[in-house]
Amino acid sequence: MQISKVAVIGAGTMGASIAVALAGKGYSVLLKDVTQELLDAGSKRIDKMLESQMRKGLSEADAKKQLEAISLATTYEEFASVDLVIEAVVENINIKRSVFQDLEKHCRPDAILSTNTSSLSITQIAAFTQSPERVVGLHFFNPAHLMKLVEVIPGLDTSEQTISTCITFVQSLGKLAVKVEECASFLVNRLLGRYMNEALYCLQEGSASIEQIDKAVCDYVMPIGPFALRDMNGADIGLAVAKFNYREYGERFRPAPVLAAMVEQKLLGQKTGRGFYIYDSETKKR
C-alpha cells in the first residue's frame, strides 16, 4: 500500500510535532482536534517548530511548503481520503476507544489506523474496531520532528502487510523503525521509566540537586538530563506512565512521590511554564 495522505489526531505537543515530521518529508497532512481553539494552539506550535528550523538553515520557501502541506479539521469529513491515521490524543483508554470507533466509521476499509500510545495495549485498542488487522502502534518520541526512533508495535491480530507498510513508511521519514513485541510501555519507555524514576528518588533523598543530576547524566552519555526531559514531555504524562508501569511490573517501578506532588501543583514543565525549571515564552530555561 502506498502512503501519501496522513491524518494526525490531536494537535498537542506530539501531534503537532508529528505533523511537522510528515510535512517535512512531502506527505499531505490532515491535523484534527476537537475544537478550533485546540487547532489554533497546534498551529502556533507548528509555527514555532518551523521558525526554529529556519534559524538552523531551513529556507523560507521550504517552511512555507511544509506549512501548506498541513490542513486543519475539527470533523472527520475528509478522513475518507487518508491512507494512514496516527492517533496522538491523551493516554486515556476510553478516549482512544471513542477515537478508533469514529475512525472505523469514517476511514476507508484499507486505511491503516495507528496509535502513538507510549504504554497502552495495542491489542486492546485494536479490539475497539472490527478490523484489528489494520491497527498498529507507531510510537514517535518527543520532539517527533527531530527524534530518529519510532517503535512499530503490532497487536496480536495486526497483519504482516500492515507491519511492513508501516516500517517502510517510518523509514521514508528518515527515521529508525524498530519492531517491538507488545508489552507494557514497550521497549524504550520500559527502560526509560526506571531511569527517570531513579533520578526522582535521588532528588527526593537529597543526593544531588536538579542541575547536578542533569549535568552528571549529560556529561556521562545522554543528550538531555532526566529533569529537562521530564519538563519537555510533561510531568502529568510521566506520572500516568509511571503509575501504569507500577501496576504492570510491581514494586521496582513504584513512582517517586515528588512527581505526583508536582502534578498536583500544576508544575508540569514547559506546557505550564514551570516544572523542574522555569521557562519563558520561547520555552527556554531561566
Which residues belong to the active site? 139
Q: Is the dihedral of CA 108, 127, 75, 168 positive or negative?
A: negative
- CB of 137 within 8 A of CB of 117? yes
CA distances (Å), origin 198, targets 49, 98, 169, 222: 31, 35, 35, 15
Q: Tell me the chain's radius of gyration from C-alpha atoms.
A: 19
Query: What does residue 58 show for φ and ψ, rounded to 5 degrees?
Result: -65, 130
CA distances (Å), origin 193, targets 42, 180, 260: 27, 17, 15
Burial class for 41, CB neighbours closer than 10 Å (0-12, 13-18, 19+): middle
